[in-house]
Amino acid sequence: MWMVQLDGAWQPADSDAVVHDWIRQGVVSPTTLIRHSSWAAPRAMREVPVFWEYGARLHSHAAVAVAHSDAQRAAWDAWARRQHAAQKAAAWKTAVTIWGAVGFVATLVLFFVLRRSVGGAWTLLLLPIGAMGVLLVGQGAKVRGFAAVTGSLRKRWKPVVYCVAITTLSSGFALLSVRSDHQTCERSMTSLRASRDGIPAAPEDTPSQWASLQTSIEESRRRCAVVGTAYESELDTMYANAASRLSEVQSREAAKADVERQQAAERAAAAEKQRIADIEAAFPGKVADLDKRLAKVDTLFIKRDFTGASEELKAAEAQLDEAAPTAASSGADYRRLKKRASAQRDKLKPKLEAIEKKAEDERQKAELYSAICGERPNPSAWDGSIYAVTRAVKEYAHDPDSIEVTECAVPKLSADSCWVTVCKVRGKNAFGATILNVKGFSISTLGAAELPVE
């Protein structure tokens, strides 16, 4: 519900359309007071956006549906022009700010890109020129033609001061940046010269030293690129010398490695030849020892110590295999001993297989026994009882509720009864009397069973 003051009295308006109709008829003006039921105090018509926008739009056109007074129409037109001028001023300020900020940041980025990529002192001009150009574009964002731009600059002196200040600051920043670049380049070149002079003369120098110097030269080239080409010639010469020395040192190291590999191969061949000669020379003295070993194999076989016989036979065969690549392998003693050892191996083979089969059967039996017995049951820390024993006793007891199992010994693994323990069992008999017995029990995954106590 709207209330509009007309001729000193408040007139109700049920909707916006009623107020719009009064504006078309010229009954109200921008200064007419209006209030809403939700407001604390009345306001002028021009302070209500929904109405002043409608009035400004209506009175800015030539065609008006209903004639109204020239004074009220002039008031609406003047008010609309002021609002339009205020909007243009705000938009102009916003454009200058946005163009100036975005353009200056873009100019900084372009400056650093050019400084790092192409170098040269001429890039110093980029910051002041870019800043001035950006502000000029922002200044003329809402006017047409260069003359309008310059006229706008004459009328608005504050942006010009702002432009000059930004240009001065950017120029100072650029000069400081160049000075810092020069100092960084000088430090890099000093360190590079020291590294080059620190490399020892041939043949003490190494490939890694020259490769590291090349890396340092490239780093210095990158750091000095932004200050021009003052050090370019020196860096090119240093890099060419380093590359030449690196190639020479790598060739020298490769030749040295080839010589060392050849010498190592020759030493290994000589050592192998000497080893074979020593074995060949020592074999005649080992024939008697081999005969004794093979005779001991026969003795152990008779005693049915097949494992011991196999160990002795392995030792004799190892000595024979060691002499196989030598000239001793063509002698009569070698052939005789080899034939005897082969016959003993054939005789031992079925016995050893039987032993291995028996051991495998015992292992499987032990695994099955361990699976049946399970893990060792531990007595309770409270009363020393074992749950499997208590459950087994209560199954055949006359009065299961009276059964108490206490002080069970730590179970031990037996050969045929799994885990064996002794416990105290207290309970009532058929006559209702409480008695105490000490009983033995066998415990496995199948449960517990009573054993006689020795």
d(CA 327, CA 278): 11
Residue 45's SS3 state is helix
Average pLDDT score, the chain = 79
CB count within 10 Å of CB 336 equals 14
- 215: alpha, beta or left, given left = phi > 0 and alpha = psi -120 to 50? alpha
Span 406-421, average pLDDT: 93
Please report the pLDDT score of residue 150 as a whole number: 46
More confident residue, 114 or 431: 431
- Print burial letters for 139-148: b (CB count within 10 Å at least 16), e (below 16): bbbbeeeeee
CA atoms within 13 A on the CB side of 146: 1
pLDDT score of 131 more than 60? no
Please report the pLDDT score of residue 48 as a whole number: 79
The answer, as to whether pTM is greater than 0.85, is no
pLDDT score of 434 more than 60? yes
Please report the pLDDT score of residue 63 as a whole number: 35
pLDDT score of 435 more than 90? yes
Q: Tens digit of pLDDT for each residue in 332-364?
A: 999 999 999 999 999 999 999 999 999 999 999
More confident residue, 223 or 56: 223
More confident residue, 319 or 61: 319
Please report the pLDDT score of residue 22 as a whole number: 80
d(CA 136, CA 412): 101
Q: Quick one: three-class SS letters along 102-143?
A: HHHHHHHHHHHHHHHHCCCHHHHHHHHHHHHHHHHHHHCCCC
pLDDT grade, residue 31 (50/70/90)? confident
Compute CA 246 distance to the chain's CA centroid, rounded to the nearest angstrom. Answer: 37
pLDDT score of 322 more than 60? yes
More confident residue, 27 or 328: 328
User: Would you call the peptide bond into 203 cis, given omega within 30 degrees of 0 as the criterion?
Assistant: yes
pLDDT score of 140 more than 70? no
CB-CB contact of 191 with 216 (8 Å): yes
Percent of the chain with pLDDT over 70: 71
pLDDT score of 283 more than 80? yes
Please report the pLDDT score of residue 165 as a whole number: 65
Whole-angstrom distance between the N-terminal and C-terminal Cα of the chain? 111
H helix and E strand count, the chain: 11, 9
Residue 87: exposure state from Cβ atoms within 10 A (0-12, 13-18, ≥19): exposed
d(CA 99, CA 336): 107
CB-CB contact of 412 with 420 (8 Å): yes
Please report the pLDDT score of residue 159 as a whole number: 57
- 41 φ/ψ angles, rounded to the nearest 5 degrees: -145, 155
Q: Tens digit of pLDDT for each residue in 79-89?
A: 666 666 666 66
pLDDT score of 142 more than 50? no
d(CA 312, CA 300): 9
Please report the pLDDT score of residue 28 as a whole number: 78
d(CA 119, CA 316): 83
Please report the pLDDT score of residue 251 as a whole number: 92
Please report the pLDDT score of residue 107 as a whole number: 63
Give the dihedral of Cα atoms 13, 18, 20, 21; nearest 10 deg.
-130
Could you tell me which residues come within 8 angstroms of residue 452 by beta carbon, excluding any fewer than 6 positions away? 440
More confident residue, 225 or 13: 13
Give the dihedral of Cα atoms 274, 280, 284, 287; nearest 10 deg.
110
DSSP class of residue 260 equals H
Residue type, 243: A
Span 230-248, average pLDDT: 88
Task: Write out the two tokens for 387.
Answer: 């749950």
DSSP class of residue 225 equals G
Q: Of 358, 343, 355, 360, give the one whose Cα is nearest residue 305.
A: 355
Span 10-37, average pLDDT: 80
pLDDT grade, residue 263 (50/70/90)? very high
